[in-house]
């Protein structure tokens, strides 16, 4: 793309299945650099076409995050040792409050990532006229390597740190689930915040979204991101100019779909595409993948994945892949959905 072509990189680094890392020596910009490159392109257009409405210095202020926090948290592991865990929260814009954006748990979370994601939240909210500012948070750990008790302790400590520093509250900053987190973690955060401020804040439960129903959550939240993905693609495939440009036909009936990622977004998207009459022929995860040109059954595949946390051994697909599962990403299909993490498409 034009903006990425502006970056003068160095030696290339081969991406692995889970992620294309931005490291010294890579021939691509970091995530925050990518976001800023596209922002700069949009800013040039605004300055050229609407010079009376915006100024360069105002756009520079809009681009940068307004508040970023990093802290180190002690976690006592189940074996008695203490591990230091990094936590982050970036509030990109207060143009509307509260700030809104998820919390992800991943081993490679860092400051530039949460800044980039917070900026994208601001722009998404503004473009869709959702009355929130943008924010994003992260905890640097791989949740698969920690017990439930350890995850609860670090989550409650993270909520405590955010609360103490004014980064959590219904009128200030309202996080949500993201990669590696879900309703369980959101309920721990809500409970911690309510324990601290609940006696003075009747809306303390509104400090977080994505909670379980019995903790004040709303019906439909778990499938919302996958359903939104489905609706977006459906709208595109029902646009005559688009399908004519790419030499295909209107609608999703009979279209082949490959999905990278089988978490909350990918698994629900699979369900909705299947119900619409599409053939989901490939699913890719970090440790394995499956492919079947006749289509994969969402319910059966999800049950197997939740039980085994791998597709290896699944008997109802034509092809099952191990760590070479990225091959499925390049198989022919009508629709490719990257539902894992940023920079998955890097060639």
HEC-encoded secondary structure of the chain: CHHHHCCCCCCCCCCCCCCCCCCCCCCCCCHHHHHHHHHHHHHHHHHHHCCCCCCHHHHHHHHCCCEEEEEEEEEECCCCCEEEEEEEEEECCCCCCCEEEEEEEECCCCHHHHHHHHHHHHHHHHHCCCCCEEEEEEEECCHHHCCHHHHHHHHHHHHHHHHHCCCCECCCEEEEECCCCCHHHHHHHHHHHHHHHCCCCCCHHHHCCCCCHHHCCCCCCCCHHHHHHHHHHHHHHCCHHHHHHCCCCCCCCCCEEEEECCCHHHHHHHHHHHHCCCEEEEEECCCCEEECCCCCCHHHHHHHHHHHCCCCCCCCCCEEECCCHHHHHHCCCCEEEECCCCCCCCC
What integer pLDDT is reported at residue 26 of this predicted model? 55
Q: Which residue has the tokens 């257009």?
A: 45
Q: Give pLDDT, residue 296.
A: 95
Distance CA 306, CA 248 (A): 35
Beta-strand (E) ranges in 17-81?
67-76
Note the pLDDT of residue 3: 38
Supply the pLDDT for residue 136: 97
**Ranges of the chain whose pLDDT falls below 50:** 1-23
pLDDT of residue 341: 79
> 238-249: per-residue pLDDT in tens?
999 999 998 889
pLDDT digit string (tens) for 274-310? 999 999 999 999 899 999 999 999 999 999 999 999 9
Closest by Cα among 35, 142, 26 to 85: 142
CA 180 to chain centre: 9
In this structure, are residues 33 and 8 in contact, taking their beta carbons and an 8 Å threshold?
no
Query: Which residues carry out catalysis?
Result: 136
User: At which residue do the structure tokens 């924010």 appear?
Assistant: 135
Q: Is the previous residue joined to 98 through a cis bond, with omega within 30 degrees of 0?
A: yes
Give the pTM: 0.80
Q: What is the H or E stretch that residue 183 is in? A: helix 183-197
> Looking at residue 25, what is its pLDDT?
52
Give the pLDDT of residue 294: 93
């Amino acid at each position: 793309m034009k903006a990425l072509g502006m970056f003068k990189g160095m030696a290339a680094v081969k991406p692995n299945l889970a992620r294309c890392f931005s490291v010294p020596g890579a021939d691509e910009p970091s995530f925050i650099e990518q976001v800023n490159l596209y922002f700069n392109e949009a800013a040039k257009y605004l300055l050229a076409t609407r010079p009376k409405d915006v100024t360069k210095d105002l756009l520079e202020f809009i681009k940068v995050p307004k508040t970023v926090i990093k802290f180190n948290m002690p976690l006592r592991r189940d074996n008695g040792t203490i591990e230091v865990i990094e936590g982050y929260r970036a509030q990109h814009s207060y143009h509307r409050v509260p700030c809104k954006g998820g919390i992800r748990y991943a081993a490679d979370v860092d400051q530039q990532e949460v800044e980039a994601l917070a900026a994208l939240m601001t722009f998404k909210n503004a473009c869709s006229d959702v009355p929130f500012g943008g924010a994003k948070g992260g905890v640097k750990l791989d949740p698969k390597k920690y017990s439930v008790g350890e995850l609860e302790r670090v989550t409650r400590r993270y909520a405590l740190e955010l609360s103490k520093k004014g980064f959590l509250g219904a009128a200030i900053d309202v996080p949500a689930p993201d990669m590696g987190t879900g309703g369980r973690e959101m309920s721990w955060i809500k409970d911690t915040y309510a324990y601290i401020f609940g006696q003075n804040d009747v809306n303390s439960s509104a400090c977080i979204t994505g909670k379980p129903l019995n903790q004040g959550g709303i019906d439909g939240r778990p499938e919302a991101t996958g359903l939104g993905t489905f609706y977006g693609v459906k709208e595109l495939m029902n646009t005559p100019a688009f399908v004519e440009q790419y030499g295909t036909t209107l609608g999703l009936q009979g279209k082949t779909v490959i999905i990278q990622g089988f978490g909350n977004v990918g698994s629900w998207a699979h369900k909705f595409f299947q119900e619409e009459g599409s053939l989901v022929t490939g699913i890719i995860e970090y440790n394995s993948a499956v492919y079947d040109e006749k289509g994969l059954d969402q319910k059966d595949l999800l049950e197997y994945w939740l039980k085994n946390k791998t597709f290896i051994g699944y008997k109802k697909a034509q092809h099952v892949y191990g760590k070479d599962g990225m091959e499925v990403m390049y198989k022919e299909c009508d629709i490719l959905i990257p539902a894992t993490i940023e920079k998955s498409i890097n060639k």
